Amino acid sequence: MRIRQLQTFCDLAETLNYTRTAERLHYAQSSVMEQVQALEDHFGVPLVERVGRQLRLTAAGEHVRVEAGRIVRLAQEMRERVRAQDGGAALSVLAPETFCVRRLPAVLQAWRAAWPEVQVTAGPVPRSVLASAVEEGKADIAVMLGVPGGASYGAAAAQGAPAGADRGGARASAGVSTIFLASEELLLVARAGHPLERAAEGMQRDELLRALADYPLYASEQGCAYRAASDAVLQPLGHEPTLVCGSVAAVVESVAATDGVALLPRMAVEGDLGRRLCVIGAGAARQSGPAAAAAGAGRGGDASGDCGTEGSVERAAAASEGMHWPRVPIVMRWRADDARPHVAAFAAAACALT
């Protein structure tokens, strides 16, 4: 009995079709049949049977499928660990700057406990690079804010999760698997003690949006997920940024030092809420009518991360509920045919901790 035979049987158990299995594994159909026959000879029982024109597993075949899957996974993991000890295993992760600073360290720490020997390359890159990083072989895993595809990007960012995407539900397209991790809420923030901090309490949404005209609006550059979501809300009302920064971190620092306001992701400001920054509109009245229904259509999923203090968490949550600001989906992408265990382990850690 060989590992290759077990892998072939696992694929056949999935397709229940000799032709498709042969195409998937790039074998001749006769080779697939011979490998299955060799396993049946080894165990002394039939593993597959035909019912009419359909192929199905026997009871013994079902048991072998489960155990063979375990053996194949262990063999793959063993190969990766041996290669890693020899300096052969590596993982490259690309993500937006905010995710690299606020979320990636915890994911890497949890993953590293099981894969300390794998060489990791991780860093921030622009969204224009992330959009095709996996397809072009620039990264094993790419974490994106928003969904791939330029034309519908702004609308997707404003609505939250990609249509039909559940947290942790993978979708494969053009050889790349995409998994929805979370939806990041946006908060309207200003420096602590800003005139709007108290003035905005109890304001209706439209009243608050009009009040913003009296203060500078700051934003990140075009092409950023948060800029797209911010523009989707504020541009129709005539609000244009008076300061455009090259990074979200620069926007945060500018807001903290001046009277400017910005619509920023919670993960970028959570450490400063209650200290340098405040949430504008925490006590704002809930919007009603068709606009509210449209604005709330994309809400869903828990925002990741905790704010600096319990009070700031409550204010941030209240602001999000009252204002119906957009949520930006966080998705992870990797090659659909990448079966390396350390890559799968990183994906699992990202799902658990994002």
Q: What is the pLDDT of residues 212-223, one digit of tens each?
A: 889 999 998 887
298/28 Cα distance (integer angstroms):
48
Alpha helices in 16-103 (DSSP H): 18-25, 29-43, 59-85, 97-102
Residue 278, pLDDT score: 93
DSSP β-ladder status, 218-220 and 176-191? unpaired
325/226 Cα distance (integer angstroms):
11
Residue 320, pLDDT score: 41
193/69 Cα distance (integer angstroms):
59
Select 90-182+331-353's CATH number: 3.40.309.10, 3.30.950.10, 3.40.190.10, 3.30.70.920.
Answer: 3.40.190.10
Q: How far separated are the first and last CA of the chain, in Å rounded?
A: 41
Least confident of 244-248, 250-254, 287-291: 287-291
Element containing residue 277 per DSSP (H, E): strand 277-279
Q: 3-85 in CATH: which number?
A: 1.10.10.10
Cα-based angle 102, 333, 79 (whole degrees, multiple of 5): 100
Over residues 84-109, mean pLDDT: 85
Among 307, 217, 204, residue whose Cα is nearest residue 262: 217
Tokens of 246: 């090259």
**pLDDT 10s digits, 2-51:** 888 998 999 999 999 999 898 888 888 888 999 999 999 999 999 999 99
Identity of residue 270: E
Q: Do domains 90-182+331-353 and 183-326 have the same CATH topology?
A: yes
Give me the half-sphere count of Cα atoms (radius 13 Å) on the Cβ side of residue 135. Answer: 12
Give me the long-range contacts of 11-19 (CB less than 8 A, separation at least 24): 12/36, 12/48, 13/57, 13/61, 13/65, 16/54, 16/55, 16/56, 16/57, 17/55, 18/55
Least confident of 110-124, 209-223, 294-308: 294-308
Give me the half-sphere count of Cα atoms (radius 13 Å) on the Cβ side of residue 296. Answer: 12
Total number of residues shown for the chain: 354
Q: Classify 5 as helix, strand or coil.
A: helix
Over residues 275-299, mean pLDDT: 51
pTM, whole model, 2 decimals? 0.60
Least confident of 154-163, 177-186, 315-324: 154-163
Q: Classify 38 as helix, strand or coil.
A: helix
The mean predicted confidence, pLDDT, of the chain is 78
Residue 185, pLDDT score: 86
- pLDDT over 60 at 151, yes or no: no
Give me the half-sphere count of Cα atoms (radius 13 Å) on the Cβ side of residue 63. Answer: 8
Q: How confident is the model at residue 145 (pLDDT cuts 50, 70, 90)?
A: confident
Alpha helices in 200-247 (DSSP H): 205-211, 225-234
340/171 Cα distance (integer angstroms):
18
227/158 Cα distance (integer angstroms):
10
- Across-strand partners of 90? 119
Higher pLDDT, 351 or 168: 351
What share of the chain has pLDDT > 90, as a percent? 35
Select 183-326's CATH number: 3.50.50.60, 3.30.300.210, 3.40.190.10, 3.90.226.10.
Answer: 3.40.190.10
Residue 293, pLDDT score: 29
Higher pLDDT, 174 or 354: 354
Residue 298, pLDDT score: 32
| Ramachandran assignment for 294, one of left (phi > 0), alpha (psi -120 to 50 degrees), beta (any other) | alpha
DSSP β-ladder status, 90-95 and 141-145? parallel
Domain boundaries, the chain: 3-85, 90-182+331-353, 183-326
Residue 333, pLDDT score: 93
Residue 323, pLDDT score: 57
Residue 315, pLDDT score: 39
Residue 95, pLDDT score: 93
112/109 Cα distance (integer angstroms):
5
